[in-house]
């Protein structure tokens, strides 16, 4: 790997005496321009800025459910089915509360006027079902 030319490394020095004391110097290094030949502009052979490279990066789709969230929802569905089979109403209420609470990220797919209200309704209903399950289990 070729050695970097120290003259080509661009650095910024900043002194903040009021925040960190008189002799404090913070070393901030940011590579504003490309160093490789592959990252240079083809027409002018000038170095592209990093902002240009970051702007052209593909946008990732948001991930609504993590793997652990999906696992929890599947466990809640299994508990819901078990509660239905055994006619255990508190377990059905508890599983329904977790399923409704876990499905709140799906409201981001709706328009903001509807999605925000539906998300709040799902949250309130899941809390009510959770407390109802606890009351029914101990009464």
- Summarised one tens digit per residue, pLDDT across range 20-79 is 555 544 544 445 545 555 566 666 666 666 555 555 556 677 778 888 999 999 999 999
> How do residues 109-125 score in pLDDT, each as one tens digit?
899 899 999 999 999 99
Give dist(CA 11, CA 30) in Å, integer: 6
> How do residues 81-94 score in pLDDT, each as one tens digit?
999 999 999 999 99
pLDDT at 134: 95
Instruction: Give residue for tokens 């209200």.
Output: 117
Give dist(CA 50, CA 54) in Å, integer: 6
Instruction: Give the list of residues 6+ apart from residue 35 with CB closer than 8 angstroms, or none.
Output: 4, 8, 47
First to last CA, the chain: 73
107 pLDDT more than 50? yes
């Amino acid at each position: 790997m070729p050695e970097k030319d120290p003259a080509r490394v661009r650095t910024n020095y900043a002194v903040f005496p009021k925040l960190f004391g008189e002799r404090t110097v913070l070393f901030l290094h940011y590579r504003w321009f490309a160093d490789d030949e592959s990252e240079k502009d083809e027409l002018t052979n000038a170095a592209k800025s990093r902002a240009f490279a970051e702007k052209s990066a593909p946008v990732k789709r948001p991930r609504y459910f993590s793997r652990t969230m999906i696992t929890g929802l599947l466990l809640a569905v299994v508990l819901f089915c078990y509660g239905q089979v055994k006619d255990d109403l508190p377990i059905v209420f508890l599983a329904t509360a977790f399923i409704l609470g876990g499905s709140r990220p799906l409201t981001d797919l709706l328009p903001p006027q509807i999605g925000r209200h539906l998300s709040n309704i799902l949250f309130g209903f899941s809390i009510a079902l959770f407390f109802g399950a606890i009351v029914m289990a101990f009464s």
